[in-house]
């Protein structure tokens, strides 16, 4: 989800006054809306009315403006790499990747040929053993057929990496797409089988065979989906941690030779694996045993084509877009090719670009400002924990210890990945992407048996996002999240910065260490009970108030927010607002109380936070988000937490009768 940014051509603070430009916060407002009725539209409604969603987007807002700036910067880096190809190394790889992606004529000429070696491999399957071997090869190439797997830190021993097996293998985004009966989801599900049929026909099936195969594939996927856990159930770290020896995996799936599987994907020595959802693997075994080999081969072909369709010739890319873009997201047209190539490149070798990006666009002064802001937020949290009346002293001390040990990563990594072994060259775009996926598969597998590298970043510097990693007890804040198109950082007043950066990003991510899921990990990043039973009960009691609050919101049609699935993000949003507010009260701007753009510092803080969620979305995206995303829609990431913040009521005079008003006894009070 988009975090925050600044609108192009506008400015803030004293610089606005000197330059005669309108204040960014004031100009976005819709004062026909009462702040106590719908603060999101009060703060952002003016901008939303004047900026319709473009046809190649399913949403449009502040994050898109940042992305537009980032696209231009990344394109410049790629085009310069083409000019400097003779320098070799990563520059040459960037150039080759970019040019292969931009060569649409070659892609159209090649058709399905770039993935023909893999299709031939599927054709050659004669036995279940062959089937599993080909599945392993596809996994190495980024097509997770049948199930999901990969390497990550062991939740209960964060110093080591573990091999994880999870549910997966579905062509629709989530298991609920296969069963929900609302009109929008039903329409997508009914169109899915014909879409599979169309793609198989493009791959060479005749219409009769394609129709029969698509129905069989859908039946197989529905069986896997039926035995997959729901979104909210995947947020319980204990239920989704089931350790098996490699030999014991055979009790779940006797049809899979796990030693052979591991060797096929590059793992030579492994004692155990963590299975997230054992019941799913029992279902998988049943299907491997009872379903025909022809259906499994059709499913593998479909999964491969689906995984690479957007990288192939126009007929494949357009058919893929018609279903996943138009129908599922409500898009009217594809992004221009150069943006699509950059999107793919970001996942393939984004950190290579990040080295050049960080050097050019994130100076030491900016890094220091946001490093200091992290410490201001940390101090605010410390004071809140110390003052809690519902938490025991023993749990408080452990919470304070965990807070003090949260590692901050700001801007860009100190150590860069080495992409020299990634086999990028002058070849079809799909093969370059496949090479990158194979490199990443081996990169992750190479971590097994080695100490965890706690300095590694899971995002690139140019990413417009941030995250908290419970296993490392760290917050990662890429330079991209602080991008301000058309403005210098020093032009931004503290009220705005503490709202959109301090609250919506830094405070939000730190609070994740203490949300319903993150709180279950200790200061060292291990899944370990460190709360007293009484304190856990008190936390859950308060969190349940938030579940009920968000269950009551209806963003689109008759679809409600899933308060349980979104609980962690909602807790983090509320924590971010409270921590940002506490930290902001210590600034000179707050103490002086001078207005900017006719707005007090206190008003600017809340408007600054709302600016971070300035966007509007098509109904199709909202519907998909409610089924698959643990984040609430943007409007409710503002109105939801604000309704629980006492200072919001005071600053904007919110009274009983206002639509956002909640009586004090109904407000969420955790941190």
Would you kindly state where each structural domain of the chain is located, as residue ranges? 13-73+366-414+455-666, 112-311
- Average pLDDT per consecutive 10 residues, the chain (671 residues; last block may be shorter): 31 47 87 98 97 95 90 94 94 96 97 98 97 98 98 96 98 97 96 98 98 98 98 95 97 96 95 98 98 98 98 98 96 96 97 88 87 98 98 98 98 94 97 98 96 95 95 95 71 92 97 96 96 97 98 96 97 98 98 96 97 95 95 98 98 98 97 92
C-alpha to C-alpha distance for 505 and 54, rounded to whole angstroms: 26
pLDDT of residue 366: 84
Write the DSSP string, 431-476.
HHHHHHHHHHHHHHHTTTTS---TT--SS-TT-S--EEETTTTEEE
Q: Three-state DSSP class for 591?
A: helix
Burial of residue 19 (CB within 10 Å: 0-12, 13-18, 19+) is exposed
- Cβ count within 10 A of residue 235: 19
Provide the b/e sequence for 163-195 (b: ≥16 CB within 10 Å): bbbbbbbbbbebbbbbebeeebbeebbeebbeb
CATH of domain 13-73+366-414+455-666: 3.40.390.10
Q: Which residue has the tokens 């987007």?
A: 57
What pLDDT is recorded for position 492? 87
Annotate 485-519 with three-state secondary structure.
CCCCHHHCCHHHHHHHHHHHHHHHHHHHHHCCCHH
CA distances from 495 to 305, 330, 492, 585, 665 (A): 50, 36, 8, 9, 29
**DSSP run (H or E) holding 529:** none
Residues in contact with 158: Cβ distance below 8 Å, sequence separation at least 6, in sequence order:
452, 471, 472, 521, 524, 525, 526
- Is residue 563 within 8 A of residue 368, CB to CB? The reply is no
Using CA atoms, how far apart are residues 424 and 290, in angstroms rounded to an integer?
41
Q: What is the pLDDT at residue 21?
A: 64
- Start-end of H helices in 388-428: 393-404
Q: Which of 143, 5, 148, 181 is nearest to 613 (CA)?
A: 5
CA distance between the termini of the chain: 24
CB-side exposure of 425: number of CA atoms within 13 Å?
A: 5
How far is 582 from 436, CA to CA, in rounded Å?
Answer: 45
Per CATH, the number for 112-311 is: 1.10.1380.10
**C-alpha closest to that of 114 among 425, 440, 427:** 427
> pTM of the prediction?
0.89
Q: By the 8 A CB rule, do 453 and 407 touch? A: no
Burial of 292 (0-12, 13-18, 19+ CB in 10 A): exposed
Q: How high is the pLDDT of residue 511?
A: 98
Nearest to 37 by CA among 643, 662, 659: 659
Contact predicate 405/545, CB 8 Å: no
Tell the residue number behind the tokens 């071997």, with chain if given: 133
Nearest to 428 by CA among 584, 536, 311, 567: 311
Query: What is the rounded CA–CA span in Å between residue 354 and residue 87?
Result: 18
- Distance (Å) of CA 94 to CA 74, 182, 342: 11, 45, 11
pLDDT, position 445: 97
Rounded alpha-carbon distances, angstroms, from residue 12 to 5, 17, 22, 502, 660: 12, 8, 8, 17, 28
Report yes or no: 33 and 42 within 8 Å, Cβ to Cβ.
Answer: yes
Task: Copy the structure tokens of residue 295.
Answer: 């259906």
Whether residue 394 contacts residue 531, with contact meaning beta carbons closer than 8 Å, is answered with no
CA distance 72 to 23: 25
Please state, as a whole number, how many other Cβ atoms lie within 10 Å of the Cβ of residue 124: 10
Helices 207-226, 183-202: inter-axial angle, 10-degree rounding: 130
d(CA 380, CA 558): 39
Name residues whose C-beta falls within 8 Å of residue 292's C-beta, 6 or more positions apart in sequence: 216
Strand residue runs (E) in 79-206: 148-154, 157-166
- Alpha-carbon torsion 261, 263, 266, 267, what sign? positive
What pLDDT score does 20 carry? 57
């Amino acid at each position: 989800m988009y975090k925050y940014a600044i609108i192009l051509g506008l400015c803030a603070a004293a610089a606005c006054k000197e330059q005669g430009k309108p204040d960014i916060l004031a100009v976005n407002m819709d004062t026909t809306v009462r702040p106590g009725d719908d603060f999101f539209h009060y703060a952002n409604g003016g901008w939303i009315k004047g900026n319709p969603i473009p046809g190649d987007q399913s949403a449009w807002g502040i994050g898109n403006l940042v992305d537009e700036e980032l696209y231009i910067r990344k394109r410049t880096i790629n085009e310069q790499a083409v000019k400097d190809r003779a320098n070799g190394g990563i520059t040459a790889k960037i150039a080759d990747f970019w040019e292969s992606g931009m060569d649409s004529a070659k892609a159209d000429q090649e058709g399905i040929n770039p993935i023909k070696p893999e299709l031939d491999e599927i054709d050659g399957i004669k036995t279940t053993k062959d089937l599993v071997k080909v599945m392993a090869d596809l996994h190495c190439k980024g097509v997770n057929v049948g199930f999901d797997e990969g390497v990550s830190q062991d939740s209960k021993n964060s110093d080591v990496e573990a091999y994880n097996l999870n549910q997966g293998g579905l062509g629709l985004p989530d298991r609920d797409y296969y069963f929900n009966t609302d009109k929008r989801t039903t329409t997508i599900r009914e169109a899915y089988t014909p879409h599979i049929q169309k793609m198989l026909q493009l791959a060479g099936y005749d219409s009769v065979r394609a129709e029969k195969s698509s129905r069989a594939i859908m039946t197989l996927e529905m069986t896997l989906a039926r035995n997959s856990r729901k979104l909210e159930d995947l947020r319980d770290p204990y239920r989704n941690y089931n350790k098996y020896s490699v030999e014991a995996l055979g009790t779940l799936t006797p049809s899979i030779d796990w030693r052979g599987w591991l060797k096929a994907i590059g793992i030579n020595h492994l004692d155990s694996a963590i299975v997230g959802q054992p019941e799913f693997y029992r279902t998988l075994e049943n299907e491997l045993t009872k379903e025909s080999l022809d259906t499994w081969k059709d499913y593998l072909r479909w999964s491969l084509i689906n995984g690479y369709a957007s990288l192939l010739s126009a007929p494949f890319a357009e058919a893929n877009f018609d279903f996943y873009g138009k129908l599922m997201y409500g898009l009217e047209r594809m992004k221009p090719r150069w943006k699509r190539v950059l999107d793919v490149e970001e996942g393939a070798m984004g950190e290579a670009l990040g080295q050049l990006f960080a050097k050019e666009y994130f100076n030491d002064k900016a890094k220091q400002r946001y490093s200091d802001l992290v410490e201001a937020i940390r101090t605010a949290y410390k004071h809140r924990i110390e003052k809690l009346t519902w938490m025991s002293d023993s749990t408080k001390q452990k919470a304070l210890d965990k807070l003090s040990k949260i590692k901050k990563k700001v801007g860009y990594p100190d150590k860069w990945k080495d992409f020299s072994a990634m086999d990028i060259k002058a070849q079809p775009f799909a093969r370059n992407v496949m090479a990158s996926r194979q490199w990443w598969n081996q990169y992750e597998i190479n971590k097994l048996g080695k100490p965890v590298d706690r300095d590694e970043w899971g995002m690139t510097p140019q990413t417009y996002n941030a995250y908290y990693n419970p296993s490392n007890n760290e917050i990662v804040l890429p330079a991209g999240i602080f991008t301000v198109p058309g403005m210098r950082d020093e032009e931004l007043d503290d009220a705005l910065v503490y709202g959109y950066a301090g609250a919506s990003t830094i405070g939000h991510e730190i609070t994740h260490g203490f949300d319903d899921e993150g709180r279950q990990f200790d200061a060292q990043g291990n899944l370990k009970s460190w709360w007293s039973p009484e304190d856990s009960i008190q936390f859950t009691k308060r969190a349940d108030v938030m579940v009920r609050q968000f269950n009551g919101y209806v963003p689109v049609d008759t679809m409600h927010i899933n308060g349980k699935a979104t609980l962690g993000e909602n807790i983090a949003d509320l924590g971010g607002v409270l921590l940002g507010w506490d930290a902001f009260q210590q600034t000179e701007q707050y103490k002086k109380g001078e207005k900017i753009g006719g707005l007090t510092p206190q008003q600017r803080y809340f408007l600054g936070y709302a600016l971070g969620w300035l966007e509007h979305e098509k109904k199709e995206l909202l519907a998909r988000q409610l089924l698959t995303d643990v984040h609430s829609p943007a409007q409710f990431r503002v109105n939801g937490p604000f309704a629980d913040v006492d200072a919001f009521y005071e600053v904007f005079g919110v009274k009983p009768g206002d639509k956002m008003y909640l009586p004090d006894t109904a407000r969420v009070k955790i941190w």
